[in-house]
Amino acid sequence: MLQRMRNLALLMLPVLFLAGMLYLQGNSIPAAAPAVIPASADNWGLSFPNEGQSPVGNATAEDLAQYGAWFLGDTSEKVIYLTFDCGYENGYTEKILDALKKHNAPAAFFVVGNMIETAPDIIRRMAEEGHIVGNHTFHHPDMSAISDQAAFQKELDSLADLYKETTGEELPRFYRPPQGKYSRENLKQAQALGYKTVFWSLAYVDWYTDNQPTAEQAYAKLLPRIHNGAVVLLHSTSRTNADILDELLTKWEDMGYRFASLEELTEI
């Protein structure tokens, strides 16, 4: 009996070891982000040590630059790069476009296939009014889970082809990973296709359509944290963003900022 119990215990050791490893992976406290871009999948993240100053990303501007990627512009100049992620049309994009037009502010709209399919007139208006329409992939998957170059390319090419069918123009080669999920391999894949990857240096929780922030809550996040060279991410599905954008742009202008295109950002 004793020998049988010992044999059973030996058989259970690999199982217990694996269970322990899974537990640790699921419950461990993440370490501080490394200075270099991880080879494995990661999420783009920021911390703001000081209000009014540029944040710290989980990869530096220098690290990203070698892969043709950006999250921050010229920190010596009071310039803002406006970007919008557009998963679908929620009735607010035209109001956003109206505010941008009033301020003569260029922006980049990172769109998915559904946005082009269901709101082609708005897509055409974006292009006609001089905004960049960028590639947010066709289906909005976790691109960091795609290691095959052909599969990665298909997500971007499908969106680019649909844009050309809709507007008659080539899609500008700017790419934003869905949900900010990326890896070093992804950055290389996008670069190989001629895309410039654009993250962001300022955003706030504006994407829950049934739990929108108040204007005051939005200003409390977007005004103190604005900084030189900011790449601002907003969602076009947000009612709050549409309602405050005119006044928000005015407030930033009053603070001495100007608005510039991503074309200028990527020339730095």
Task: Give me the catalytic one of 206, 227, 235, 243.
Answer: 235
Catalytic status, residue 206:
no
Task: Give me the catalytic one of 85, 136, 227, 243.
Answer: 85
Contact 75, 229 (CB under 8 A): yes
Contact 227, 97 (CB under 8 A): no
| Structure-token match 């010992």, residue found | 6
Retrieve residue 43's tokens: 């999420």
| Structure-token match 């991880």, residue found | 38
- Residue (of 118, 113, 130) closest to 164 by Cα position: 113
Catalytic status, residue 140:
no
- Residue (of 12, 31, 67) closest to 197 by Cα position: 67
Strands (E), 1-98: 42-43, 46-47, 56-57, 69-70, 79-86
**Which residue numbers are catalytic?**
85, 235
